[in-house]
């Protein structure tokens, strides 16, 4: 049986690890949050006391952490895992981080005789819970072939984008588009409501018209339009504004480094920056609606 160490059990990592347990994999889990760890333990995972403890006996390590600095600290830091993992271990980082950071970690993995994939995901917390995530993978094809059964336990679509870092580049392009689409969707809904339309009726109309998009149809930002969306539970859970802001920053850095013009991505980053500065960084990113439709 494949023994998996899973590090980072937040909004995404928690349900992903639960799916691995549910599909019969042996999982040792670790998170700094005791509450998150307890949820995994209750489902049948081994609750590890540290990341180092989690990887004991594991042939695969999966991480799902907030940002590049956390990933680098986990693998390359003072007590970084790369110093102690047995040669040949397959390491899969599912966090969204800069492609340059992913390549740096992958190079260090190779130097330590380890195999590394960047495998950021799309599909949100609902996709993580349902096991229908899209994995966007960078790294060697042979390593992806080995990882595939694990990724299939957590997701539905698995894409090989190219070598190490390519998964992150593709993911950043996707999230830049998502940030733009969510802001545009919120702007259009706010305009309609200000002019007397019902947000649900307007959403139905646009969902069957040329303005249709994922944010509108599956993650509607207007409270009450879609019961399962974060907007209908006070913008809790989901994908935090702070994380969207991080991704739009990564897109902007990538654009600067490659001399690409991304005016809409830059505008979206500024919108989410203002929204976060107004104290909404911990709310789901669809709360950008409040920028266009301020609450009394």
Binding residue for ligand NAD, selected from 47, 92, 114, 121, defined by CB under 6 A:
121
- Shortest Å distance, C-beta 68 to ligand NAD: 9
CB-based closest residue to ligand NAD: 10
Distance CA 203, CA 198 (A): 8
Shorter beta-carbon distance to ligand NAD: residue 67 or 114: 67
Binding residue for ligand NAD, selected from 3, 23, 59, 66, defined by CB under 6 A:
66
| Distant-in-sequence contacts of 197-201, Cβ < 8 A, 24+ apart | 199/224, 199/225, 200/224, 200/225
In 3D space, the residue among 240, 239, 267 whose CA is nearest the CA of residue 252 turns out to be 267
Binding residue for ligand NAD, selected from 4, 12, 21, 102, defined by CB under 6 A:
12
Binding residue for ligand NAD, selected from 29, 51, 166, 288, defined by CB under 6 A:
51
CB half-sphere exposure, 7, CA atoms < 13 A:
26
Shorter beta-carbon distance to ligand NAD: residue 122 or 220: 122
Shorter beta-carbon distance to ligand NAD: residue 114 or 133: 133
Output the CA torsion sign for 173, 68, 120, 18: negative
Map residue 135 onto helix, strand or coil: strand
Q: What is the DSSP string of 76-118?
A: HSTT-GGGTSPTT-EEEE-S---HHHHHHHHHHHHHTT-EEEE
| H or E element at residue 25 | none
Query: Is 11 a residue that touches ligand NAD (CB under 6 A)?
Result: yes
Binding residue for ligand NAD, selected from 13, 199, 230, 265, defined by CB under 6 A:
13
- Shortest Å distance, C-beta 234 to ligand NAD: 16
23, 69, 87, 171: the catalytic one is 171
Distance CA 148, CA 160 (A): 11
Active site residue 171: yes
Binding residue for ligand NAD, selected from 29, 31, 82, 289, defined by CB under 6 A:
31
Distance CA 295, CA 55 (A): 47
> What residues are labeled active site?
171
Could you list the residues that contact ligand NAD (CB under 6 A)? 7-13, 30-33, 36, 51, 64-66, 70, 74, 95-96, 121-122, 124-125, 238-239, 243
């Amino acid at each position: 049986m494949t023994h998996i160490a899973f590090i980072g059990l937040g909004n995404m990592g928690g349900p992903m690890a639960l799916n691995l347990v549910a599909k019969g994999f042996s999982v040792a889990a670790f998170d700094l949050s005791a509450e998150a760890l307890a949820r995994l333990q209750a489902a049948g995972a081994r609750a590890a006391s540290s990341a180092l403890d989690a990887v004991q006996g594991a042939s695969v390590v999966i991480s799902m952490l907030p940002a590049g600095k956390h990933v680098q600290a986990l693998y390359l830091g003072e007590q970084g895992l790369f110093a102690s993992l047995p040669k040949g271990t397959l390491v899969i980082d599912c966090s969204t981080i800069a492609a340059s950071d992913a390549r740096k970690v992958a190079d260090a993995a190779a130097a330590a005789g380890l195999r590394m994939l960047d495998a950021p995901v799309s599909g949100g917390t609902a996709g993580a819970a349902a096991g229908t995530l899209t994995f966007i993978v960078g790294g060697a094809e042979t390593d992806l072939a080995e990882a595939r059964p694990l990724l299939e336990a957590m997701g539905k679509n698995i894409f090989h984008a190219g070598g190490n870092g390519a998964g992150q580049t593709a993911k950043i392009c996707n999230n830049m588009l998502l940030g733009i689409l969510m802001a545009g969707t919120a702007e259009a809904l706010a305009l309609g409501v200000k002019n007397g339309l019902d947000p649900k009726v307007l959403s139905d109309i646009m969902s069957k018209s040329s303005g249709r998009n994922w944010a509108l149809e599956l993650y509607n930002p207007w409270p009450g339009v879609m019961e399962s969306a974060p907007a209908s539970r006070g913008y809790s859970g989901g994908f935090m504004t702070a994380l969207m802001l991080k991704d739009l920053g990564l897109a902007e850095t990538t654009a600067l480094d490659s001399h690409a013009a991304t005016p809409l991505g830059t505008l979206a980053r500024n919108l989410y920056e203002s929204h976060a500065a107004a104290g909404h960084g911990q709310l789901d990113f669809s709360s950008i609606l409040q920028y266009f439709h301020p609450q009394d």
